[in-house]
Amino acid sequence: MAGTLYVVATPLGNLGDLSPRAAQTLKAVAVVAAEDTRHSRPLLTQVGSSAELVSFHAHSDDGDLRRLLERLAGGQDVALITDAGTPLVSDPGVHLVAAARERGIPVVTVPGPNAVVAALAVAGLPADRYLFLGFLPRKGGDRKRLLTTVAQSPWTVVLFESPLRVDALLADLAEACGPDRRAAVARELTKVFEETRAGTLAQLAGYYADAPARGEVTVVIAGTGRDAPRSETPPPDAAARARALLAEGLSRRDVAERLAEETGITRNTAYRLVNDL
């Protein structure tokens, strides 16, 4: 029988947030696939895990993926972890999970800390519906398109950003959304120097221009509060985005839903586009 791939959430910073089930899983598996083995070694030592620690990250090649799949197929259990939080959220682990599912290998989640939810919990902005866009491209047309998506979103939007580029992101957001749009910047969540600063985009952009951010940063932006008009015409890159989502293992229905949310086209238009691919 094949082994099981466990997708294990690990602490954002405070090691006390590791769940008992996650600790037990890390002790029980034969292999732990980590984004940065140097970062994850202390965690395995703390829980008393003797699992083999191997590297699996955004730059891993097909050979690394194949070796993990071979071990799973051979009956070994593998835990997938990221540097902090839940794997697959702005993380390359999707390739391993998708490939395991294609081969009929069981995939089990061990949920826990998540920076998106943690930031929403303290931002003071509506969280009943939200749009997560991860890291925006640094420049070019894709960045402008996603900034427009943020500006037009009726729901709260959550972004990740490097501390070195927070001031530039906030300035771009203030230009796209208007200087008075409400937002919050949460950094170093669950760590000693945790801080969440709320205000308008203009206020936050000015603050972080003078006081550069440090540590892991999550930015939360208020939505418009009203439904954005939906378009019957897909943007030029909608088909490419649909192919990418299908390649991640999502169903056609889920891909259509994601396309509608990300691009602003109607759901019927998104379904037709996906079915025509």
HEC letters along 41-95: HHHHHHHCCCCEEEECCCCCCHHHHHHHHHHHHCCCCEEECCCCECCCCCCCCHH
Please say whether the structural domain 5-110 has been given the CATH code 3.40.50.620: no
Please name the residue ranges forming H helices in 108-222: 115-123, 141-152, 166-177, 201-210
pLDDT per position as a tens digit, 178-232: 999 999 999 999 999 999 999 999 999 999 999 999 999 999 999 998 655 566 7
- Rounded to two decimals, the pTM is 0.78
User: pLDDT under 70 in the chain at which residues?
Assistant: 226-231
In DSSP terms, 135 is beta-bridged to 160
For domain 115-221, the CATH class is alpha beta
Inter-residue contact 51 to 79 (CB < 8 Å)? yes
